[in-house]
Amino acid sequence: MSRHLTGDELEPILQGNLPFPRTQEVVWHLRSHCEPCRAILVAQSEPDTANHDLFSLAGTLMKGSRHFRREAPLAKKVTTLLSKGGGLHTVCTQGDLPLRGLGMYQALLERSWSVRHDNVKEMIHLAQAAVVVARRLDKRHYRPRLIADFQARAWCELGNAHRAADNLGEAEHAFATAFDFFLQGTDNRHLKARLNQAYASFLGTRRQFEPAFAALDVVCSIYIGFGNHHLIGRTLLAKAIYMHYSGQPGKALVLNSVGRALIDVCQDPALDLQAALNKMWFLVACGRFREAKKELIRNREALEKIEARVVFVKLRWLQGQVFAGLGDWDQAESALLEAKEGFESLELGLAAALASMDLALLWMRQHRLTECEHLVEETYQVFVSLNIHREAIGAFQVLNKAREKRMMTIPLLASVVEYLHRAQHNPDIPFVPKWT
């Protein structure tokens, strides 16, 4: 069989439905930068999509370029003020700048995005201000449809900010408003991709996986039309995560492999490392611990350079699960204890509780029953205090009653631990206890 990608294989491979041996052939072939195969990705797009958007974008830039040149210094000044801290108060008082103009709009959205990992409240506040500025844009400089685009983008980023803060009701309203403005706009494909990408994240947070997949397929088709392999790959990596969350780690592995084959590592090395980490998580979810260990060894040099505390703690949790799956009790215990304590220091209660349950199962398999029972009782109280969904509490109650009656078994504990891991991303799945 030829290793080249064929047109009728494109949809199955992007959906994760192509048989694994064939997928593996295509992935490795794409890694060789075969231009004919990559051209197939572009050829499958909608006719003239890319050219239409280029002409549309060029027209917009030509019409507003003179005005935008006047706005650029304002954008730079606002960006500088915001980077010093103090938020909008600093801009309005020290900078004596009104909430108006495209430069202000651009600076607000850029700063909102840049603080997403550090200050979600500020992220929301700045996006809200961008919504106000978009509404005030001067119709003498921008056509109504273009203003609608600016409003759609601002509402999209506000929706994404609310999603990051778990304000899902506000996020839903913001995304609905964003799509309404998009329909009034220029049908800009870049904007459509961003809208659907952010909305997919919202749907994934809501555990509405099928609509999330559909939204990401829209994004993927747009980037195929642009011929941008890196963005196609990035979208597939995102889809792989939601495929995993939906309980399909095997398909997630396929999509993750295809995505990594398409991304430009030099352009975004952090994305490639995240894809490597995700692959290990997917392998663990599939019970393929030996392969996961090989990946840990293969990526050791890059993993040792991780500085972000939360990422490092998650890595130790992953290592603990791999060692436990391979029966390396000592290394598993060391890694899981470190992960548990690390999550507690970061005040990530649910992750700490899940790591505790992994540790309890490890001790149960070592016949350290007393230590296991104490940890299960302690973790049960944590789960109750976290007010997690009813099905998970029910699963824990079954386990706790068995513990109280001295009837807790390894299969029962293992079934609870497996369920809790899956339910953190998909709470709608039912719990089925295994006693033997």
Residue 48: what pLDDT?
Answer: 37
For 350-363, write each residue's pLDDT tens digit: 899 999 999 999 99
Residue owning tokens 């033997």: 436
Closest alpha carbon to 418 in 330, 328, 325: 325
pTM of the model: 0.77
Beta strand ranges found along 1-56 (DSSP E): none
CA 348 to chain centre: 18
> Environment class of residue 398 by beta-carbon count within 10 Å: exposed (0-12), middle (13-18) or buried (19+)?
middle
Q: Tell me the backbone φ, ψ of residue 137, rounded to 5 degrees.
A: -60, 140
Beta strand ranges found along 151-249 (DSSP E): none
Give me the sign of the Cα torsion angle 83, 88, 92, 98.
Answer: positive
Residue 95: what pLDDT?
Answer: 54
Judge contact between 295 and 280, C-beta under 8 A.
Answer: yes
Helical (H) or strand (E) element with 237: helix 229-245
List the structure tokens of 377: 């009782």
∠79-82-87 over CA atoms, to 5°? 145
For 191-210, write each residue's pLDDT tens digit: 999 999 999 999 998 889 99
Residue 155: what pLDDT?
Answer: 98
CA 36 → CA 5, 41, 68, distances in Å? Answer: 9, 9, 40
List the structure tokens of 111: 């700063």
∠274-276-278 over CA atoms, to 5°? 70
Residue 23: what pLDDT?
Answer: 61
Regions of the chain where pLDDT drops below 50: 1, 42-64
Residue 106: what pLDDT?
Answer: 86
Radius of gyration of the chain (CA): 25
Give me the sign of the Cα torsion angle 18, 19, 20, 26.
Answer: negative
Residue 66: what pLDDT?
Answer: 55
